[in-house]
Amino acid sequence: EVAVEMEDVPFGVAAAAELFQAYGLAADTVCLFKKSEEGRTDFPVDPVRGLEVATLTRLLRAHSLDLVMEFNNETSDLIFGTNIPHHMLLFLNTSSPAQLALRDGFQAAAAAFRGEVLFVVVDVTGYGADVLSFFGMTPADAPTLRLVKMENNRKYRMDGDTFSDTAIRAFVQAVLDGKVKPHLLSAEPPEDWDTRPVKVLVGKTFDQVAFDETKNVFVKFYAPWCSHCQAMAGDWEELGERYKDHEDIVIAEMDATANELENITIMGFPTLHYFPAGPGRKMVEYKSARNVETFSKFLENGGMLPEEPPAVSVVP
C-alpha cells in the first residue's frame, strides 16, 4: 500500500540473512536509502503493531527530502507539494560568507522537527527573490528567519539576531505550542483613505473600521493581479458612489497581498465580507453575483439577499 502511494520511490523486500548481517540489522526494518549525505535512514518495525501505512508513508515522505532543502527551480514544486504542515525559512544572501555560515545552526536545529517542520534555505538574490514580496521583505532584510503554517499561510518572525541552533529550536517549539503571535503584514494607509467613496483599508486600520459598532461595513479583499477583481472594480466603485452619503454604510477594500489579519484568512480573490453594525464582531461572507444591483439588494436587506418569490407556472 505504501509503495502504491509513493510511486516515485522503488520498493523491495529482502529476507536473506546475509543482507541483515551486511546492513547491521537484527530485526524487521524498513530501510530508506538516499543519495544525500545521510545515506540511509532505518525505521524499525514494531513486532506487535507491524507496519502502519499512514505512519510509514508520512515518515518516508519526510525522510526522502533533505534535512534542509535549498529553494530553487528544481526543488520548489517538491517543497510546496509536501504534506509537512510547517515550513521554517532561512533567508540568506548566498554571496555573503558571513550569512552562509548561519546555515550550520539552522541545519543543527532541523533534525528535532523532521516530519513536522520543513527547513528551507532561500537565496534572496537568486531564485528566492520572487517570494520576498509574499513576506513583505526585500533582499536587504537578509539574514532573517520566518516560520509559515501552510494551512493558512500564517507567518511568524524570529526576533533578534541570534541564529544559534538552540535559539532556532526554542522559537520553532514556541510557535508549535501557540506561544508566538503571527507576524502580520500591513501597508501604510494613503492620506485620503477615508475621504474616497471606497475606503482603503490596511492591516493596521482594519479593526477600527470593520468592527465599528455604528457602521455596516462591506469589504472587498483583492489582489492587484487578479483578473476577477479587475473585472468587478467598476461595480465596486459605483457601489461606493451610491452609498458614500449613507452614515451607517461603509464600502471598503483591502489589498490582501500586502495586508494580513490575525483572525481572518483570505484564501481566494476577490473575497467579499460584510461586517454588520452592533456588538459581537460578526462577519457574513457574500457569495452571490458580483454586480452593483445585487450588492445593493444585499445591503438594503441587512446583509442578506431577499428571497425571490417562487416561480408560478402559467397553464394556458
Summarize pLDDT for 235-267 with one digit per residue, the tens: 999 999 999 999 999 999 999 999 999 889 998
- 281-284 long-range contacts, CB within 8 A, separation 24+: 281/211
Instruction: Say if residue 164 is in the same domain as residue 73.
Output: yes
Instruction: Say if residue 166 is in the same domain as residue 231.
Output: no
Residue in 60, 69, 65, 63 with CA at minimum distance from that of residue 88: 69
116 has pLDDT over 80: yes
The confidence band for 316, taking pLDDT boundaries of 50, 70 and 90, is: low
Its domain, for residue 275, covers 199-300
Across the range 217-237, mean pLDDT stands at 96
Coil, strand or helix: which one is 95? coil
Percent of all residues in the chain with a pLDDT value above 90, rounded to a whole number? 72
In a domain, 311, yes or no: no
33 has pLDDT over 70: yes
Instruction: Say if residue 295 is in the same domain as residue 253.
Output: yes
In a domain, 85, yes or no: yes
137 has pLDDT over 60: yes
Instruction: Say if residue 215 is in the same domain as residue 289.
Output: yes
In a domain, 87, yes or no: yes
The amino acid present at 12, given as its one-letter code, is G
Instruction: Say if residue 135 is in the same domain as residue 163.
Output: yes
In a domain, 193, yes or no: no
In a domain, 271, yes or no: yes
Beta-sheet strand order (sheet of 284-286): 199-201, 249-255, 216-222, 271-275, 284-286
What's the number of domains the chain is made of? 3
Instruction: Say if residue 112 is in the same domain as residue 137.
Output: yes
By the 8 A CB rule, do 75 and 121 touch?
A: no
The confidence band for 34, taking pLDDT boundaries of 50, 70 and 90, is: confident
> Given the DSSP bridges, would you call strands 199-201 and 249-255 parallel, antiparallel or unpaired?
parallel
The confidence band for 57, taking pLDDT boundaries of 50, 70 and 90, is: confident
Residue in 171, 116, 178, 115 with CA at minimum distance from that of residue 144: 171
pLDDT of residue 8: 76
The CATH number of residue 235's host domain is: 3.40.30.10
pLDDT of residue 310: 53
162 has pLDDT over 70: yes
Q: Which residue has the cell 536509502?
A: 33
Note if the bond before 276 is cis, omega within 30 degrees: no
312 has pLDDT over 60: no
Which of 129, 154, 183 is the last residue in one of the domains?
183
pLDDT digits (tens, 9 = 90+) for 87-106: 999 999 999 999 999 999 99
Instruction: Say if residue 152 is in the same domain as residue 134.
Output: yes
Instruction: Say if residue 53 is in the same domain as residue 121.
Output: no
Instruction: Say if residue 129 is in the same domain as residue 159.
Output: yes
The amino acid present at 288, given as its one-letter code, is S
The amino acid present at 244, given as its one-letter code, is K
By the 8 A CB rule, do 45 and 51 touch?
A: yes
7 has pLDDT over 80: no
pLDDT of residue 309: 52
Half-sphere exposure of 79 (CA within 13 A, CB side): 23
Instruction: Say if residue 81 is in the same domain as residue 54.
Output: no
pLDDT of residue 308: 56
The amino acid present at 68, given as its one-letter code, is V
Which of 47, 64, 81 is the last residue in one of the domains?
64
In a domain, 309, yes or no: no
Note if the bond before 270 is cis, omega within 30 degrees: yes
In a domain, 290, yes or no: yes
Instruction: Say if residue 262 is in the same domain as residue 274.
Output: yes
Coil, strand or helix: which one is 59? helix
Which of 64, 82, 100 is the last residue in one of the domains?
64
In a domain, 188, yes or no: no
Q: Per mean pLDDT, which of 50-54, 299-303, 309-313 is the most reliable? A: 299-303
Q: Which of 62-71, 148-157, 162-171 has the lowest mean pLDDT?
A: 62-71
For the chain, the average pLDDT equals: 91
CB count in 10 Å sphere of residue 182: 18
Cα angle 34-38-41, degrees, rounded to a multiple of 5: 70
Instruction: Say if residue 48 is in the same domain as residue 77.
Output: no
CA distances from 179 to 122, 148, 156 (A): 25, 15, 11
CA distances from 7 to 53, 57, 104, 206 (A): 15, 11, 33, 47
63 has pLDDT over 80: no
